[in-house]
Amino acid sequence: TTVTIVLGTRPEIIKLAPVIDACEEREIAYSVVHTGQHYSEELDTVFFDQLELPAPDHNLGVGSGSQSEQTGAMIREIETVLLDEQPELVLVQGDTNSVLAGAIAASKLDCEVGHVEAGLRSFDRTMPEEVNRVLADHAADYCFAPTEQAAGYLREEGIDDDDTIHVTGNTIVDAVMGYRDLAAAKSDVLGELGLDAGDFCLLTAHRAENVDDRERFESLLDGVARFARDADLDVVYPVHPRANERLAAFDLAMPDEITPIDAQDFLDFLRLESTATLVLTDSGGVQEETCILGTPCVTLRDNTERPETVDVGANRIVGVAADGIVTGAHEALSQQNGWENPFGDGHSADRILDIAGIGSAASVGEVHG
């Protein structure tokens, strides 16, 4: 095998889909290892089907667990597969436990490791994702940074500039550009949910630091509901299984202003993001996608590792206090759209394979902002 791609969660499947497509086009001998961190159909197989990805060559079936239980099981299982596959390059993407496990296992074997979406920093080490990012970057031979700012953080941490750090753009741009028009043509989600384009808000909230804390989760829902009432806008909330489980465990009632719906497939979700008046989210990927699609975003967190979205005027960080959400959401609604997408030109996947010297080069050159 030339390249082994390790993935395990919804965002990794979406953001590595363009890399898998590029491997197919170049006719590279590659394999896909699915850790099984996500296993519910709505977080997993629905994306393989819709993005027309081949089934993973290996599914490790690790599932849910405590941080170290889950990560440890993944490291052990990934090592077994890599010893068998003997790849030249292992690619991981993002900041989940699957990324950390893939990076650690691969870095101790005779292969190179590439971290896609390297150099993101929230500077909040209480988040498991921040620990995963830092460790994966320092285990990698290639840090594929989406932006110059991310590359700068890596340099500040002493990572070898010329050999290791490469600014490639973010593969989410490849995915959004590839599927946006298809979503507009094919998705009937607005009709199914009885929504009018430009007349509703989209909410996602699933982060451990928000939904695992009863007070924070309640305050977040309360703030969004108060804003919806003030602005007279419907809110739809595709609920991640983690949030669903917490809602039940905390016996939290969903405010009337917020309509919970199932987690959506990619085309329906892109359609909702493209046509929403405003998106409220604690997701990383959703901050990027709204910025690319031109929809204003309010981030229900105390910090972000995607400051580029704030700098271009697409996003504001409002925390989870109800007052802050209401004020921030009104501000976001009244501002001008029309910012520049800071995440690249949609050729990130080819650029990544070109830099790693995998297959015949597509020669997409350097990324320009």
* Residues forming the site for ligand UD1 (CB under 6 A): 9-11, 37-40, 43, 64, 95-97, 128-129, 206, 240-242, 245
* Whole-number Å distance between alpha carbons of 69 and 41: 23
By a kind-dependent CB cut-off of 5 to 8 A, residue 169 interacts, out of ligand UD1, ligand UDP, none, with none
**Element of type H or E holding 313:** none
**Residues composing the chain:** 369
Residue 119 and residue 90 in contact, taking contact as beta carbons nearer than 8 Å: no
Minimum distance from residue 133 beta carbon to ligand UDP (Å):
11
- Give 31 or 204: the residue with its C-beta nearer to ligand UDP: 204
What's the burial of 304, exposed, middle or buried (CB within 10 Å: 0-12/13-18/19+)? buried
- 216: nearest Cα among 226, 229, 206, 230: 206
Minimum distance from residue 38 beta carbon to ligand UD1 (Å):
4
Q: What is the dihedral of CA 70, 73, 77, 78, to 10 degrees?
A: 50
By a kind-dependent CB cut-off of 5 to 8 A, residue 289 interacts, out of ligand UDP, ligand UD1, none, with ligand UDP
Minimum distance from residue 11 beta carbon to ligand UD1 (Å):
5
- Give 43 or 91: the residue with its C-beta nearer to ligand UD1: 43
Catalytic pick among 206, 240, 347, 368: 206
* Whole-number Å distance between alpha carbons of 25 and 349: 11
By a kind-dependent CB cut-off of 5 to 8 A, residue 264 interacts, out of ligand UDP, ligand UD1, none, with ligand UDP
- Give 166 or 206: the residue with its C-beta nearer to ligand UD1: 206
Residue 210 and residue 220 in contact, taking contact as beta carbons nearer than 8 Å: yes
The Cα angle at residue 178 between residues 275 and 205, in degrees rounded to 5:
50
Minimum distance from residue 204 beta carbon to ligand UDP (Å):
5
- Give 10 or 133: the residue with its C-beta nearer to ligand UDP: 10
Per the annotation, the verdict on 206 as an active-site residue is yes
Minimum distance from residue 302 beta carbon to ligand UDP (Å):
15
**Residues forming the site for ligand UDP (CB under 6 A):** 10-11, 14, 204, 206, 238, 263-264, 266, 269, 283-286, 289
By a kind-dependent CB cut-off of 5 to 8 A, residue 245 interacts, out of ligand UD1, ligand UDP, none, with ligand UD1
3-state DSSP assignment of residue 91: strand
- 227: nearest Cα among 323, 317, 129, 144: 323
Residues labelled as active-site residues: 206
